[in-house]
Structure 1
Amino acid sequence: MRIYTRSGDKGKTSLIYGERVAKNDLRVEAYGTCDETNSAIGLAISHLHKEEWEGKDEFLNAMHKIQTILFHVGAELATPKGKDVTWQLKKEHIDHLENLIDKWDKELQPLKNFILPSGNEASAGLHLARTVARRAERTAVALGEEMVNPLVVSYLNRLSDLLFVAARYINHQLGGNELPLHPDV
């Protein structure tokens, strides 16, 4: 398979099943933003491979699973209305995120004020991934329920929550400090 096909040179791309749409189509924006979220997660966790802490392998395995599911969410968004989705998001995927949030959050101090995206490179990267996941969620909402499995919106919403907790968790595991919102501005 060649990397370049030249088929998109005039501003069109193919959805799953071959339907051609403009590259700025809202559906393309939705699955493209999922891809961007996935890349941001990958960049963030790439900073963790040199670090050591108890639970590292479990954390990295959880993030790998999340990246895989997020890839499938993108494919679901790339599937035109009325066509069969080869892999479909299930409530159990959202439940898995909630279980991870609860588990990691138990190890953190409760927040008493807003914090700024900061900390070590991995933590800051997970904060960035969180904001991109929020954009993916907003784009999926804009497509509407008739175009998107409602679980996709729930998953992206919960994913951004998880990425916030994951950023705090990693910062905590690696001994970083959370930067509070500056009160004098």
Structure 2
Amino acid sequence: MIEAPRPRASSASRITLRTADAAEAKKLHALITANREEGHLLPRTLGELAVHANRFVVAVRARRIVGCAELAPLSPHVAEVRSLAVDRQARGARVGVMIVEELRRRARREGYEKLCAFTHAPGYFSQMGFSIVPHSWLLEKIFTDCVKCPHFRTCGQYGMVVPLDTARENAVHIERSDTQPAAAPLA
């Protein structure tokens, strides 16, 4: 059986990732609100999105934002993937995975030791290396956000964490200062 060649991705279907800016707060708000109405996210105000827009990574296709998420610092050691939202028409194209991977790179570069997420879809995050943990393991999140949430005592979200290998990003290469050859390995 001969298969037909797969069509090439057109430039209209190409996804680019970049940092959002405050002028895009309304677009972020609309995307997050649409996902919230489907039961995926907690609400965000337009004002807070404008203030924190530069912490968002957006996925853009054909000059249109089709996905977003915030890298929210919780402590000097922990950052959160917050408000991960993908336009309904862009789902299935790995947009969310691309955004989370970019947030992971940024978190590593900024020196965080772990990245967390609170989600109703633990399977999605576990495919990206996150593990389910008790909420009490993420006290930074609890004291920053959870205590203010109306669902605090009845939270249905899963706490998830992925450790970040910051050693790779921050490796310092030390040159040998002596001229002695390295010892030969023992046979």
TM-score (norm 1): 0.28
> By percentage of residues, which structure has more strand?
2
Name which structure has the greater RCO, CA cutoff 8 Å, separation 6+.
Answer: 1
TM-score (norm 2): 0.28
Who wins on radius of gyration, i.e. which is larger?
Answer: 2
> By percentage of residues, which structure has more helix?
1
